[in-house]
Amino acid sequence: MSSSPRRRYFGTDGIRGRVGAWPITPEFILKLGWAAGKVLARQGHGKVLIGKDTRISGYMFESVLQSGLSASGIDIHLLGPMPTPAIAYLTRTLRAHAGIVISASHNPYYDNGVKFFSSRGMKLPDELEMAIEEQLERPMTTVDSAELGKAIRIVDAPGRYVEFCKSSVPHDVTFNGMKIVVDCANGAAYHVAPDVFRELGAEIIEIGVEPNGLNINLNCGATHPELLQQWVLREKADLGIALDGDGDRVIMVDHLGRLVSGDELLYVIARHQKSIGQLQGGVVGTVMSNMGFEQAMHGLDIDFIRVPVGDRNIINELTKRRWYLGGEPSGHIICSEMLTTGDGIIAALQVLSAIYYQQQPLATLYAELVKYPQVLLNVKVDFEGDISSNSRVSKAVQDVEYQLGSCGRVLLRRSGTEPLIRIMVEGENEVQIQRLAKQVADIVQEEFSKQDPQRSIA
């Protein structure tokens, strides 16, 4: 859902959906490219970068986006498969008007989407998204043939991004002697992530680096880290790194095979930066950040603030406060002094730097963070209104909050990328929160859906 009720297409992370179902169709994406080009052309003649992940429909949408932009008179630079944060970085350094990412991030191959970066490498401002939506309502036209946009392919994009990632750690840092398993989710980082860590000295075991257009995020990567856990234990590795399909989030595995979430990784980074005097201000989390993480930040005398879910909200708060560090439990971690969006590779490098300087394994660095148990449930819905206006659901939430008291919390929110209501209950007693989460999910399901809730316990 967009924050603006007037919007028809743009959600919290661009436009995303099932390939072949409106609006993720060739004809719509063609016109989207044209509409974006017409809006950007008002800022003067320039170029737009297009990058994509590895899903099979990316070829189709790359072609039609290119055609739409050309019809509007905008030049196109094609990057090929590249992580989302790499496109943000290259948009800024190549002085492009905008960058376009063709990706559905952690979703299966049969979904796809389009999101935009501004010339500053940040999510497109709301006013430009609204202007594109308004342009979409007009008939498509084509500029004079002499003014059509030209397209070229940037052949050195992967190398540029590898060097940028390496530059995010001090020159004296090397990972010699470390054995790391890197799972690239058969996604956009498959040809860059292993090189980054390898060139910094680590012994790398690569998995999820054979994309075929259909296997992106399939039983691998940050959303399915079980494979990485098995490989870390089998190879007796120091740790494992799992990226998602477009490379903007990271989950890690310690040498004992235990999952290390975004909250724990953010804790390691913040604690290390605080210890060496490099932490600028505090840390921005979201409403999903664990209560244990918040308490740990206070224990380290680090300011902490929550914002709604989404890296756009984190970045806005970081910018407003002139802080540099924020993130989500899902593994979106933003180091804004380096890049204006979440970057799984750069976040992993900051964790590895903490390991290098403190000469301790990952398992030790996050050991003092004690997280509260969380139960996460997803209920599929067709309802698009305000769920909080339903009196039965509101009463169920109030009842749960009363039972948890000050030792827990409950959160209901609509997914910005899927037709789901996400229910999170957090507290000290895992048995209790499982029961309470099920109570709320059952009522949401009865009110808005006929389908069974999907359960996840964190």
Strand partners, 410: 425
CA 163 – CA 159 distance, rounded (Å): 6
Q: How many CB atoms lie within 10 A of CB 315?
A: 21
Q: What is the 3-state secondary structure (H, E, C) of 177-225?
A: CCEEEEECCCCCCCCCHHHHHHHCCCEEEEECCCCCCCCCCCCCCCCCC
92 Cβ contact list (under 8 Å, min separation 6): 119, 120, 121, 340
Strand partners, 212: none
Q: Given the structure tokens 């743009």, which residue do they identify? A: 10
Measuring CA to CA, which residue among 207, 209, 180 is closest to residue 351?
Answer: 180
CA 182 – CA 309 distance, rounded (Å): 27
CA 57 – CA 393 distance, rounded (Å): 39
Q: Determine the Cα angle at 88 with ends 35 and 126, to 5°.
A: 45
Contact of 180 with 194, CB cutoff 8 Å? no
Positions marked active-site: 105
Residue type, 430: E
Measuring CA to CA, which residue among 369, 395, 202, 231 is closest to residue 289?
Answer: 369
Q: Given the structure tokens 């990226």, which residue do they identify? A: 243
Say if residue 301 is exposed, middle or buried (CB neighbours under 10 Å; 0-12, 13-18, 19+).
exposed
CA 204 – CA 232 distance, rounded (Å): 11
Q: In 300-342, which ranges are continuous DSSP H helix?
A: 311-321
Q: What is the largest CA-CA distance in the chain?
A: 69
Q: What is the 3-state secondary structure (H, E, C) of 125-136?
A: CHHHHHHHHHHH
